[in-house]
């Protein structure tokens, strides 16, 4: 399970840097040592740098290897020279105060501009030179994954949306990734907090009720998937399963995705210094869903719309 840092970029409440660092230490001490961030997530990369400095002071620099920070590079399409790519990586290295990026996840907005292959080839060179440990992708579809692997560019993971509501990765992405030795890192798995007891029996929320960017984003996904009444049916089906396992609805939704083909990790957003779910998140690792649990969940999912047909493959919602 990875700690997601999109929530520090804005529209999720003001993040106080000092309180955020304190929270990051608590996450780490609880065993949640991996952070998912991006160059455009506001101060996320800087927070990692500050966290590492504080951690070294209090726990010892020799323990810094316990921290994993997975950043993203999200450039505007255009010329991708070696210098442009190298400069972008240098910025992340400086902000995060590291000599090598643990994992760089690359995103590209326009498939019509195939210079994403130039960028990836330069990134692969930087990996060979030791500036990047692992090279990965964010929100690439299966067709483009095939083009990239066909160009003999080694990719370790692709970050995609994957939840009980959005199961598009299961259609063809997961099988392709398993064939190629690529794993999936998933986000949106708890639907920004909508997949929880809080929303059971609630009337359909209006925009004023959706107080964060995540809630607004994933309510739109629920609308496309099948609407609020079907989502209420899903929550009603999940609650007795959660009770059976002494867990929360979010735990059950997370466990279901972790059990899916090719999934290596689930990203759970952290509103650092505002709200914490450390103890609840840890329960996920004590759950083993049985066939009865899965059947009860999938009986509800069978009534949903085909998001692959409505939206397209993974990440297509960002390229319309």
Q: At what angle do helices 116-128 and 142-150 cross, to 10 degrees?
A: 50
Extract the tokens encoding 104. 């760089």
Alpha helix stretches (DSSP H) within 259-310: 278-282, 291-301, 307-310
Contacts of residue 17, defined as CB under 8 A and 6 or more positions apart, other chains included, come to: 43, 47, 50
DSSP 101: E
Determine the Cα–Cα distance for residues 182 and 144; give it in Å rounded to an integer.
Answer: 13
How far from the centroid of its chain's Cα atoms is residue 182's Cα? 15
In our burial notation (b when 16+ CB lie closer than 10 A, e otherwise), range 147-172 reads ebbeeebebbbbbbbbbbbbbbbbeb
Choose among 133, 126, 169: nearest CA to 264: 169
Q: Give pTM, 2 decimals.
A: 0.95
How far from the centroid of its chain's Cα atoms is residue 282's Cα? 17
Please state the length of the chain: 320
Reported as type and span, the H/E element at residue 17 is helix 17-29
Determine the Cα–Cα distance for residues 45 and 266; give it in Å rounded to an integer.
Answer: 20
* Sequence spans of domains, the chain: 2-318
Tokens 């047909």 label which residue? 309
Contacts of residue 208, defined as CB under 8 A and 6 or more positions apart, other chains included, come to: none
Q: Does domain 2-318 have CATH number 3.40.50.2300?
A: no
Extract the tokens encoding 65. 């290897």
SS3 3: strand
One DSSP character per residue, 109-169 reads: S-TTSTTHHHHHHHHHHHHHTTSEEEEEEES--HHHHHHHHHTT----EEEEE-SSS--GG
What is the per-residue pLDDT for 153?
A: 98
What is the per-residue pLDDT for 317?
A: 93
What is the per-residue pLDDT for 84?
A: 98
Tell me the average confidence (pLDDT) per consecutive run of 10 residues in the chain, 320 residues long: 88 78 94 96 94 97 97 96 98 97 97 97 98 98 98 98 98 98 97 96 94 92 98 98 98 98 95 83 97 98 97 91
How big, in percent rounded to 5, are the helix, strand and coil portions of the chain?
Answer: 50, 15, 35
227, 310 Cβ separation under 8 angstroms: no
What is the per-residue pLDDT for 274?
A: 78
Determine the Cα–Cα distance for residues 293 and 291; give it in Å rounded to an integer.
Answer: 5
57, 90 Cβ separation under 8 angstroms: no
What is the per-residue pLDDT for 110?
A: 96
């Amino acid at each position: 399970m990875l700690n997601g840092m999109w929530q520090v970029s804005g529209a999720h409440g003001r993040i106080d840097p000092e309180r955020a660092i304190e929270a990051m230490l608590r996450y780490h001490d609880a065993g949640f040592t991996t952070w998912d961030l991006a160059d455009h997530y506001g101060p996320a990369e800087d927070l990692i740098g500050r966290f590492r400095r504080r951690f070294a002071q209090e726990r010892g620099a020799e323990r810094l290897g316990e921290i994993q920070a997975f950043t993203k590079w999200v450039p505007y399409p255009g010329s991708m020279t070696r210098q442009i790519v190298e400069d972008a990586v240098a910025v992340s290295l400086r902000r995060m105060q590291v000599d090598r990026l643990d994992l760089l996840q690359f995103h590209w907005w326009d498939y019509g501009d195939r210079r994403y292959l130039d960028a990836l080839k330069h990134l692969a060179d930087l990996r060979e030179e030791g500036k990047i440990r692992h090279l990965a992708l964010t929100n690439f579809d299966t067709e483009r994954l095939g083009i990239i692997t066909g160009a003999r560019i080694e990719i370790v993971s692709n970050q995609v949306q994957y939840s009980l509501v959005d199961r598009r990765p299961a259609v063809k992405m997961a099988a392709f990734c398993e064939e190629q030795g690529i794993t999936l890192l998933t986000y949106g798995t708890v639907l920004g907090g909508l997949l929880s007891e809080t929303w059971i029996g609630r009337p359909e929320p209006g925009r004023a009720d959706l107080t964060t960017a995540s809630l607004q984003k994933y309510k739109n996904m629920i609308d496309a998937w099948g609407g609020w009444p079907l989502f209420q049916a899903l929550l009603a089906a999940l609650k007795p399963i959660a009770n059976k396992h002494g867990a929360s609805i979010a735990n059950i939704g997370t466990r279901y995705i972790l059990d899916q083909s090719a999934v290596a990790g689930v990203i759970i957003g952290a509103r650092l210094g505002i709200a914490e779910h450390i103890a609840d998140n840890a329960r996920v690792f004590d759950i083993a869903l049985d066939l009865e649990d899965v059947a009860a969940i999938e009986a509800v999912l069978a009534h949903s719309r085909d998001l692959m047909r409505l939206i397209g493959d993974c990440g297509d919602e960002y390229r319309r």
